[in-house]
Amino acid sequence: MSWRTFLATAWRWQRGRQGTGYDKMLLLTGRWPLPFDSYLIRYPAGSAIPPHTDPVQAGRHYRLNLVLKASPRGGEFVCATPIFETARIKLFRPDACEHSVTRVEGGSRYVLSIGWVRRDPVPPPQGLDGG
């Protein structure tokens, strides 16, 4: 992302991609030491995220979501195979594991979401000995 795009995008609420009532605010993004982004995500009461994956063009997408404020009811993060999960901390592969958030009820939910992409491991060279 160029500086121009970043400055035009960051630190303001944008409508979430899934169009299901949540808002996101880009905090920081960059390419070093790995391509990364960080967002504040706001879920007003009544919002939810249907099951989806977040593919990347190349590499492996990881995401660490910290629940800053849980909603009084609902707002549960659902992912069948998280890497690590507590009530407040969710570490998962959004490109590989379908995930969703159940409908937020009774008040808002806030999440700090930090994502990064690791390059695919380079396969070992094929043997040159005809074996």
Q: Which of Fe ion, ligand AKG, none is residue 41 near (CB under 5 to 8 Å by kind)? A: ligand AKG
Q: Which of residues 50-109 bind Fe ion (CB under 5 A)?
A: 54, 94
The minimum distance between CB 88 and ligand AKG, in angstroms, equals 11
* Residue 44 in tokens: 């007003």
- Min dist CB 112 to ligand AKG, Å, is 10
* Nearer to Fe ion (CB atom), residue 75 or residue 94: 94
User: Which CB, 8 or 78, lies closer to ligand AKG?
Assistant: 78
Q: ∠ CA 83-89-93 to the nearest 5 degrees?
A: 35
Q: Which residues bind ligand AKG (CB under 6 A)?
A: 41, 49, 54, 63, 65, 77, 90, 94, 99, 101, 111, 113
Q: How far is the CB of 79 from ligand AKG (least distance, A)?
A: 8
Minimal CA–CA distance to 16: which of 118, 116, 83, 109?
A: 109
Q: Which does 77 bind (CB under 5 to 8 A by kind): Fe ion, ligand AKG, none?
A: ligand AKG
Concatenating the DSSP letter of every residue in 104-127 gives EESS-EEEEEEEEEEPPPPPPPPP
Give residues in contact with Fe ion (CB under 5 A): 54, 94
